[in-house]
Amino acid sequence: MQQIARSVALAFNSLPRPHRVMLGSLTVLTLTVAVWRPYVYHPESTSAPIVKTIELKKNEIRSLLPEASEPIDQTLPDEVEDIPQDDLDDKTASEAGVHEYVVSTGDTLSSILNQYGIDMGDISQLADADKELRNLKIGQQLSWTLTADGDLQRLTWEMSRRETRTYDRTESGAFKMSSELQQGDWVNTAMKGTVGGSFVGSAREAGLTNSEISSVIKAMQWQMDFRKLKKGDEFSVLMSREMLEGKQEQSQLLGVRLRSDGKDYYAIRAEDGKFYDRNGTGLAKGFMRFPTSKQFRVSSNFNPRRLNPVTGRVAPHKGVDFAMPQGTPVLSVGDGEVVVAKRSGAAGYYVAIRHGRTYTTRYMHLRKLLVKEGQKVKRGDRIALSGNTGRSTGPHLHYEVWINQQAVNPLTAKLPRTEGLTGSDRKDYLAQVKEVVPQLTLD
């Protein structure tokens, strides 16, 4: 697809100017209509608001043109490229450029990779390399790296504690599979400590590695802001570690207990790889699918490899544009903390909100800000009025969702849900809780 787009761009450049203008307008129209597909939703896989199919009338095509969006040939400047981090991220940062995902209910290889903007061609190449990739199981881990152009470079599938499969892109563009069998022994290790200076420092003293600390912080993210822990707060962690020839190969967090201000907080891992409280209730609060009370037309889709038709360069569109009248109330899609609320060049007036430690949402080209940096917001709170500020060619809202420092498609991304475990999943989980909790002792 990308190669085709590049050769089209080359052929395009060799045309005389009047032809180019005409062909250009036609191409934009064709691309817009081609990109505009109804979103197919699987109700069993999410309880978030369902995206309705919008029938496209002839007279609406005009409003889908990029004129109600950022100019297609420009990407947003560096100052808003990176989502704000804090010192906890610096202290627990994992390997740069590696994206990780835990398979959950309703996921397929293509639904997972698709939300991160990975090309469907790459996804079917992967499935060709290994048919078993069609049978992902809940709780398995996927991780992958991308090339500078955003193409998939390597995918790793942790099938079980025993087997890990890796798929590497070869010269021909196909993927080559290799499999690694682990022979180590898994042992449970309980560690506990008291917060002295910082949680990260105290957890290291207690014997946790950086990636283990990071998994603890993530598991507790909806209950606890680790930057606000006080001296004397206590914690207890149960890790399952794989030991191979006396060395620790990998580990998995089974449960964590935190006592802060005399109150106990728990997060225990279930079979699906997610963390719940002791009753099997989900810890993450649900997100709204749209940042407005009414649903508006999409004028430009999420596209991490959007090509400038003239230069043939990749100018990623890291969010989705909704065409809407200026002054429309913009709502926070979930509970969180405002980390940016300011005017910033191409983004115009913009707001970024951090939800727990995994999710960040960003809202751009606003007319008026209604929140301040550092402010706590609830799902559905008004944070701004929409506008047409910054590098924008028509009134619209540019909306982004980031998961673990990567922009994902806001219309298809898996967002946190409210419900907890039910039926036999809950029964299995409660049995697990009975085993784990007694091991989470404090002094």
Applying CB under 5 A, the residues found at the interface with Zn ion are 70, 321, 398
Q: Which is nearer to Zn ion, 286 or 390 (CB)?
A: 390
Burial 282-305 (b: 16+ CB within 10 A, else e): bbbbbbbbbbbeeebbbbbbbbbb
Rounded to whole angstroms, the Cα distance separating 350 from 239 reads: 40
Quote the tokens at residue 351.
Answer: 């707001």
Of 300 and 432, CB closest to Zn ion: 300
Pairwise CA distance, residues 376 & 213, whole Å = 25
Sign of the Cα torsion 385, 374, 301, 393 reads positive
Residue 251 carries which side chain, given as an amino acid letter? S
With CB atoms as reference, the residue minimizing the distance to Zn ion is: 398
The half-sphere exposure of 162 on its side-chain side, counting CA atoms within 13 A, is: 0
| CA–CA distance, 152 with 113 (Å, rounded to integer) | 10
| CB-nearer residue toward Zn ion: 274 or 398 | 398
Nearest distance from C-beta of residue 71 to Zn ion, angstroms: 10
**The two structure tokens encoding residue 33:** 């209509």
List Cβ neighbours of 25 (8 Å cut-off, separation of 6 or more): none
**CA–CA gap between residue 177 and residue 436 (Å, rounded):** 36
CB 421 within 8 A of CB 49: no
Q: Which is nearer to Zn ion, 269 or 391 (CB)?
A: 391
Residue 256: name the closest of 240, 243, 272 by CA.
240
Smaller CB distance to Zn ion: residue 214 or 299? 299
Q: Taking the complex as a whole, how short is the minimal distance between the CB of residue 404 and Zn ion, in angstroms?
A: 21
d(CA 329, CA 412) in angstroms, rounded, equals 23
Cα angle: 218, vertex 372, 331; to 5 degrees: 70
Q: How far is the CB of 346 from Zn ion (least distance, A)?
A: 10
DSSP 8-state class, residue 1:
-
**Shortest Å, Cβ 387 to Zn ion:** 13
Nearer to Zn ion, 127 or 315 (CB): 315
By C-beta, is 286 or 319 nearer to Zn ion?
319
Shortest distance in whole angstroms from residue 329 CB to Zn ion:
19
The residue length of the chain stands at 443
Answer for the pair 417, 284: CB distance below 8 angstroms, yes or no.
yes
Q: Quote the least distance from Cβ 333 to Zn ion, whole Å.
A: 16
- The letter for the amino acid at 72 is I
Residue 132 DSSP symbol = G
- In angstroms, what is the minimal distance from the CB of 302 to Zn ion? 9
Residue type, 219: A
Cβ closest to Zn ion, residue 348 vs residue 416: 348
- Torsion angles phi and psi, residue 112, rounded to 5: -70, -55
* Least distance CB 67 / Zn ion (angstroms): 12
Nearer to Zn ion, 70 or 242 (CB): 70
**Is the Cβ of residue 156 or residue 388 nearer to Zn ion in the bound state?**
388
Least distance in angstroms from the C-beta of 357 to Zn ion: 25
Q: Which is nearer to Zn ion, 316 or 329 (CB)?
A: 316
CB of 304 to Zn ion, least distance (A): 12
- C-alpha R_g of the chain: 23
The Cα angle at residue 419 between residues 416 and 424, in degrees rounded to 5: 120
Q: CB of residue 418 vs Zn ion: minimum separation in angstroms?
A: 29
365 SS3 class: strand
